Amino acid sequence: MSAQSPRVDDSSAFIGFNDLVGLLHAVFVKHGTSPQVAQILAHNCASAERDGAHSHGIFRMPGYISTLESGWVDGKATPVVTDVASGFVRVDAANGFAQPALAAARALLVDKARSAGIALLAIHNSHHFAALWPDVEPFAEQGLVALSVVNSMTCVVPHGADRPLFGTNPIAFAAPRADGAPIVFDLATSAIAHGDVQIAARNGERLPPGMGVDSLGQPTQDPKAILEGGALLPFGGHKGSALSMMVELLAAALTGGNFSFEFNWADHPGARTPWTGQLLILIDPSKTAGQNFAERSQELVRQMHAVGLRRLPGDRRHRTRAKSLAAGIEVDAQALNQLREWAV
Ligand code: NDP
Ligand code: PYC
């Protein structure tokens, strides 16, 4: 399908995956990234759009652009990879994006995981503005188990506290299974991702109860009240709050990155990308005792289905992916036109 495909109605259009990657690549380069960084971010963003992960697809492009224009992030940064120990790789993202830092360390990390059974990647001085599952899913497609965490920007009130401190701090996990796509989940430790609050505000929708508070700390279902002086809550009360705290520790304290509350972008109007850190743990399950790991995960899935489970995490994404690859990615026509303007 061509990027010039006709619109199907006034509000939506269809675009092929490679065409969307090409268009986003042009937008990134136009706004100051190197071609290499543009390729990685464009692929990431188009993958999210293809899979229906709308809060981290093309919705994010205005934020990427305003951030690049503000000088907050270096779109041409060259990550510095350090081989720290037999199971430890460190990357200084050099105030660039986290995904090119991961790409730069990938081969070394996989080698270490395959030889030692486990390897850890600690990225700091990095900006992550995307969904986290694209960082882990490819490892599971290679037969490895991957767990990653990234912290973001202060907007979540720790359970039992009065004011926000944590970021929305997602956790993503991917594991191979014998018959089918890897098992993958990717979830914010806030009750809702910040991006989804922005989308609800844009669409004039109310949120379900329990997502956030207004500027006075009172529960609210109004997304604008959350965005304008209010804050989000962790999911699951004290349990999500503990996980969010863990993400701060692993993604920032352990990597040398900023906590979600430690950076100040006030001098960079338009900056939207959190300047934090990311941790990724990679495990080679072929080292475990007993039956093949992928067979064991398949057995778990089989048993979950047997007790009535209809939807595994990742199922919705894969269904949307299949549809997008068959018919093109359905995108908002205005947003597509805007991307084309930004690309020239
Ligand atoms: P969701 O709550 O939409 O989904 C979380 C996970 O649960 C997904 O793996 C999803 O699978 C699965 N899931 C959802 N509903 C069901 C269900 N009914 N049954 C079984 N599984 C289900 O995600 P969030 O809103 O928490 O996060 C959205 C995105 O925001 C993530 O990609 C995250 O990485 C990103 N994010 C990024 C941040 C950053 O700093 N870079 C910060 C915070 C969030 P499926 O995908 O198939 O629906
Ligand atoms: O949706 O919470 C979010 C988010 C923060 C940074 C990138 N996405």
The class that CATH gives domain 80-190+234-287 is alpha beta
For ligand 2, say whether the CB of 67 is within 6 Å of any of its atoms. Answer: no
Among 55, 169, 198, 235, name the best residue to mutate to test ligand 2's pocket (greatest count of ligand atoms within 8 A of Cβ): 55
Alpha helices in 52-118 (DSSP H): 61-70, 98-116
Instruction: Choose among 167, 227, 171, 164: nearest CA to 200.
Output: 227
Instruction: Give the Cα separation of 257 and 234 in Å (integer).
Output: 22
Phi and psi angles of residue 243, each rounded to the nearest 5 degrees, phi first:
-65, -40
Alpha helices in 8-97 (DSSP H): 17-30, 35-50, 61-70
Write down the domain spans for the chain: 7-70+328-343, 80-190+234-287, 191-230
Mean pLDDT on 93-102: 98
For ligand 2, say whether the CB of 274 is within 6 Å of any of its atoms. Answer: yes
Mean pLDDT on 83-108: 98
Active-site pick, 43, 56, 124, 194 = 56
Q: What is the DSSP string of 290-333?
A: SS-HHHHHHHHHHHHHHTT----TTHHHHHHHHHHHHH-EEEEH
Higher pLDDT, 289 or 144: 144
Which DSSP helix (H) or strand (E) runs through 200? helix 194-203
Instruction: Choose among 10, 64, 3: nearest CA to 37.
Output: 64
Active-site residue flag, 56: yes
Mean pLDDT on 232-249: 98
Instruction: Give the Cα separation of 182 and 165 in Å (integer).
Output: 34
User: What SS3 class is residue 274?
Assistant: coil
Instruction: Choose among 130, 141, 95: nearest CA to 282.
Output: 141
User: What SS3 class is residue 143?
Assistant: coil
Give the ligand with the smallest distance to the CA of 188: 1
Which DSSP helix (H) or strand (E) runs through 171? strand 171-175
Contact of 168 with 189, CB cutoff 8 Å: yes
pLDDT, the chain, mean: 96
In sequence order, which residues have a C-beta less than 8 Å from that of residue 155 and are 6 or more positions away? 164, 167, 168, 190, 194, 231, 232
For ligand 2, say whether the CB of 99 is within 6 Å of any of its atoms. Answer: no
Mean pLDDT on 204-209: 98
Residue 290 confidence (pLDDT): 75
What is the CATH T-level fold of the domain 191-230, as seen in this structure? Wheat Germ Agglutinin (Isolectin 2); domain 1 (3.30.60)
Give the ligand with the smallest distance to the CA of 150: 1
Q: For residue 222, what are its two tokens?
A: 């109004």
- Per-residue pLDDT of 122-137, as tens digits, reads 999 999 999 999 999 9
Q: How confident is the model at residue 344 (pLDDT cuts 50, 70, 90)?
A: very high
Q: How confident is the model at residue 69 (pLDDT cuts 50, 70, 90)?
A: very high
Atom of ligand 2 at shortest distance to CA of 188? Answer: 2
Q: Do domains 80-190+234-287 and 191-230 have the same CATH topology?
A: no
Residue 233 pLDDT more than 90?
yes
Residue 217 confidence (pLDDT): 97
Residue 72 pLDDT more than 90?
yes
The class that CATH gives domain 7-70+328-343 is mainly alpha
Give the ligand with the smallest distance to the CA of 53: 1
Residue 60 pLDDT more than 80?
yes
Question: 138-152, 206-220, 281-295: lowest mean pLDDT where?
Answer: 281-295
What proportion of the chain, given as a percentage, has pLDDT over 90? Answer: 96
Say if pTM beats, i.e. exceeds, 0.75. Answer: yes
Q: How confident is the model at residue 9 (pLDDT cuts 50, 70, 90)?
A: low
Residue 247 confidence (pLDDT): 99
Q: How confident is the model at residue 4 (pLDDT cuts 50, 70, 90)?
A: very low
Which DSSP helix (H) or strand (E) runs through 281? strand 275-283
